[in-house]
Amino acid sequence: MLKSSLIHPEILATLAAAGHHATVLIADGNYPASTKKGPQAKLVHLNLAPGVVTCNQVLAAILSAAPIDIINTMMYEADDPYALNEAPPVWDEYRKTIAAASLDLKLEPIDKWKFYEAVATPDHVLTIQTADQQRFANILLSVGVRTD
């Protein structure tokens, strides 16, 4: 029986096969997951209904199962149709989830267009498409190493 809160078989299998520096995208409901992904990345749809499930719920499950050493967010833009003037509220949720997992990691924003480029690399192994409706909720995790 598994001890982590993550029980999704395909996500677990992909994480188990991922090595150091592999990346996992937790995508919000607006992310173009079918076209903006690594050339061999698996795509898992967890978008059941608007808002179900959220990026933060997936983040908590992933952190319970895999070592993560870098967490990148998609930097919000102030000059597009979906502009924000400050960091999205979901980033505070992420910080609480990271702290609850007893990790000392900071959110590291990447420019929106560079974020797309970072996802479209051979290191990108998995996209988990959520139904999160919050703007700029996308989060890119870099797999670390086991130290225990």
Domain residue extents for the chain: 9-143
Peptide bond into 53 cis (omega under 30): yes
Q: Which residue has the tokens 């001890």?
A: 3
The pLDDT score that the predictor gives to residue 1 is 57
Give the strand pairing for 68-74 and 107-110: parallel
User: Yes or no: is domain 9-143 CATH 3.40.630.40?
Assistant: no
Q: Which residue has the tokens 């070592």?
A: 67
pLDDT tens string, the chain, 148 residues long: the values are 577 899 999 999 999 999 999 999 999 999 999 999 999 999 999 999 999 999 999 999 999 999 999 999 999 887 878 888 889 999 999 999 999 999 999 999 999 999 999 999 999 999 999 999 999 999 999 999 988 7
CB 129 within 8 A of CB 37: no
The pLDDT score that the predictor gives to residue 2 is 72
Cα 69 versus chain centre, distance: 13
